[in-house]
Amino acid sequence: MAGGPVVGEDGLARTPWAYGDPLLLEYYDTEWGLPVRDESGLFERLSLEGFQAGLSWLTILKKRERFREVFAHFDVDTVAGYGDAEVAALLADPGIIRHRGKIEACIGNARAIIALRDSGGIAEFIWSFRPAQTPTPQTIAEVPTTSSESAALSKALKREGFRFVGPTTMYALMEAVGMVDTHLVGSHRRGASGLWSD
């Protein structure tokens, strides 16, 4: 089936985008689609999805370790304290995506996460938008890029002061942290989150 699961050299079937680079394969096999509920873990995913806007995910994966270094392993309190000097240093760092809007959004989003702590925290906030059902795509063409839930999450986050959290970016976040399962039917990772049964 065109656009369906692709069997790798190891005999395991995967969604086609998992191939092309060892970083993609490892990310697909060990991390993508598994539930993330801790604050720094969600801050990292939220930030990386924001930085990815307009770029390939592989570009982000190649720079991920440097992102972790310069953003204090996505410690929310540390990043929330960044000021002009840190922004200037980040803009000069070739190891990350040097986009002022995205860098400033990352810092602002850390501050917004802190503000959410009194009302349950970022994990409770994001996971409250988990849909009642997950897609069951058989081909890449059947994988959604947005949903009513990702649009609602985007709107709610923007109300709380978050930036670079559009509906498409939020759908990608929902896929990454297991809120929906868009591993193609037939992929060896389908159902890996443990949250859905087809």
pLDDT digits (tens, 9 = 90+) for 102-149: 999 999 999 999 999 999 999 999 999 999 999 999 999 999 999 999
Would you state the pLDDT for residue 197?
76
Residues of the chain under the 50 pLDDT cut: none
Residue 54's CB: how many other CB atoms inside 10 A?
Answer: 9
Would you state the pLDDT for residue 3?
86
Q: Which two tokens stand for residue 29?
A: 């096999």
Q: What is the DSSP string of 46-89?
A: HHHHHHHTTS-HHHHHHHHHHHHHHTGGG-HHHHHT--HHHHHH
Would you state the pLDDT for residue 187?
97
Would you state the pLDDT for residue 86?
98
Would you state the pLDDT for residue 198?
59
Would you state the pLDDT for residue 196?
86
Task: Report whether 99 belongs to an annotated binding site.
Answer: no
Residue positions annotated with a catalytic role? 27, 49, 57
Tell which residue, 175, 137, 194, has the closest CA to residue 28: 175
Delineate the domains of the chain, giving CATH numbers in brackets: 36-132+141-176 (1.10.340.30)
